[in-house]
Chain A
Amino acid sequence: MAEESLLEIRGLELRAGEEVLVDGVDLDLPRGGSLGLLGQSGSGKTLTALAVLGLLPPGVRRVAGTIRFDGVELSALDEAGLRPFRGGRIALVFQEAMSAFNPVLKLGRQVAEVLELHRRQIDRRGRPPEVLRLFEEVGLKEPERVARSYPHELSGGMLQRCLIAMALAGEPELLIADEPTTALDVTVQARILELVAEIRRRRGLSLLWISHDLGVVARVCGRVAVMRGGRVLEQGEVEQVLRQPAHPYTRELMAAAPRLERSG
Chain B
Amino acid sequence: MSDGDPILEARSLAVRYPDQRGPLGGVRSWRRAVDDVSFVVPRGQTLALVGESGCGKSSTGRAILGLQPQASGELLFRPAGADGGRDLLKLPPSGWKAVRRRIALVFQDSGSALNPRLKVWQSVAEPLQIHRLASGAGLRRRVDELLERVGLDPASGERYPDQFSGGQRQRIGIARALGTEPELVVCDEIVSALDVLVQRQVLELLSGLQRERGLSYLFICHDLAVVSGFAQRTAVMKGGRLAEQGPTAEMFSAPKQEYTRCLLDAVPLI
Contacts and interface: CB of A to CB of B under 8 A. Distances in A.
A256 B266 contact: no
B268 A215 contact: yes
Nearest to A40: B195
A260 B266 contact: no
Contact of B269 (A40, A41, A215, A252): A215
A186 B269 contact: no
A186 B270 contact: no
B267 A258 contact: yes
Q: Chain B interface: which size bin? A: 20 to 34
B195 A212 contact: yes
B253 A263 contact: yes
Contacts of A258: 196, 223, 225-226, 267-270
24 contacts: A40-B195, A40-B196, A41-B195, A187-B52, A187-B263, A187-B266, A189-B266, A190-B266, A212-B196, A213-B196, A213-B268, A218-B270, A242-B270, A257-B269, A258-B225, A258-B267, A258-B268, A258-B270, A259-B225, A261-B248, A261-B252, A262-B253, A263-B247, A263-B250
B266 A263 contact: no
Contact of B224 (A155, A257, A260): A260
A264 B195 CA distance: 30
Contacts of A193: 268
Interface string A34-48: 000000110000000
Interface of B: 52-53, 165-166, 195-200, 222-226, 228-229, 247-250, 252-253, 262-270
Contacts of A257: 196, 269-270
B223 A186 contact: yes
Given A40-B196, A258-B225, A214 B270 contact: yes
B230 to A, nearest CB: 9
A215 B53 CA distance: 21
A253 interface: yes
A175 interface: no
A182 to B, nearest CB: 8
A156 interface: yes
Per CB-CB distance, the 6 closest pairs between chain A and chain B, nearest first, are A258-B225, A215-B268, A262-B253, A263-B249, A190-B266, A40-B195
Nearest to A257: B270
Nearest to A215: B268
Contacts of B224: 186, 260
A186 B267 contact: yes
Nearest to A39: B195
Interface string A178-221: 00000001111110010000000000000000001111101100
A260 B248 CA distance: 10
A254 B270 CA distance: 8
A8 to B, nearest CB: 28
B244 to A, nearest CB: 15
Contacts of A253: 196-197
A261 B253 CA distance: 8
Contacts of B250: 263
Contacts of B199: 256
A186 B266 CA distance: 6
Given A213-B196, A214-B196, A259 B229 contact: yes
A212 B193 CA distance: 11
A21 B222 CA distance: 33
B232 to A, nearest CB: 12
B253 A186 contact: no
Interface centre among B225, B228, B268 (most CB of A within 10 A): B268
